């Protein structure tokens, strides 16, 4: 209870860090991270095709799929014109790349929230020792690498999802009676990949500004020490 009171008593809201690159870029990371995992997680789409057995015997089929894109669980039935019923599934399981991408986004959001609270409410604690900026630099660099890996993997997974849910691909398994229909809307998923690589740029670029807060960075404005016995200006 005392530790909670000590933390609360040390809180001092200061919005000035948001005017500096360190805080402003962290706020952008917070926003773009939400967009990244929000556009990928919770997605659901539908692909369409039809079986034409005459003017009055058209069977319209729609196959639904959703995050985390275990397409092998998306079952659908086709009744061909010779009344043969075919049970089929979509192809592929892309849950690993999708869940990895969303996981990086969620943890990145939590880290941004924690560091924004630290920047805005406990700036004196953050700058009190060199440990805070060094840890922040290491974690930010790690997230930049994770954004690179997860966005690349998810971009490849999305390409495979588009192929697996393409109506032109689905009608290949049935006779000439099948006709491709409406393509599933992939706008949200395309945006998620874009936000993923934007996060990579933001997190990687922010490493420089955090590095300037660490003792490893030498201030160029700091006067150089004068050698003993030397004459200043010579």
Q: Which residues contact 23 (CB under 8 A, 6 or more apart)?
A: 17, 116, 119, 120
Q: Which residue has the tokens 């006067």?
A: 223
The helix/strand/coil state of 226 is coil
pTM comes to 0.82
CA of 163: how far to CAs of 123, 146, 166, in Å? 49, 26, 5
pLDDT digits (tens, 9 = 90+) for 181-190: 888 899 999 9
- Residue 227's pLDDT is 46
Identify the pLDDT of residue 215. 79
pLDDT (0 to 100) of residue 171: 79
Ranges of the chain whose pLDDT falls below 50? 1-8, 224-231, 234
88 burial level (CB within 10 Å; 0-12, 13-18, 19+): middle
């Amino acid at each position: 209870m005392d530790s909670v009171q000590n933390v609360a008593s040390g809180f001092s809201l200061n919005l000035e860090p948001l005017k500096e690159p360190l805080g402003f870029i962290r706020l952008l990371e917070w926003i773009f991270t939400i967009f990244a995992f929000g556009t990928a997680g919770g997605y659901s789409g539908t692909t369409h095709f039809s079986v034409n057995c005459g003017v009055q015997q058209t069977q319209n089929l729609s196959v639904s799929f959703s995050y985390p894109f275990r397409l092998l669980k998306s079952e659908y039935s086709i009744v061909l014109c010779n009344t043969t019923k075919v049970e089929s599934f979509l192809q592929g399981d892309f849950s690993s790349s999708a869940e990895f991408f969303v996981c990086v986004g969620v943890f990145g959001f939590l880290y941004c929230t924690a560091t924004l609270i630290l920047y805005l409410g406990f700036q004196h604690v953050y700058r009190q020792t060199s440990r805070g900026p060094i840890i922040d630099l290491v974690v930010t660099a790690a997230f930049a690498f994770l954004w690179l890996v997860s966005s690349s993997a998810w971009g490849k997974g999305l390409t495979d999802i588009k192929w697996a849910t393409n109506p032109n691909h689905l009608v290949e398994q049935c006779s000439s009676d099948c006709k491709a229909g409406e393509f599933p809307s992939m706008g949200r998923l395309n945006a998620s990949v874009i936000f993923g690589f934007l996060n990579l740029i933001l997190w990687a670029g922010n490493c420089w500004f955090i590095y300037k807060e660490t003792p490893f960075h030498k201030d160029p404005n700091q006067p150089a020490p004068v050698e003993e016995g030397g004459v200043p200006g010579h």
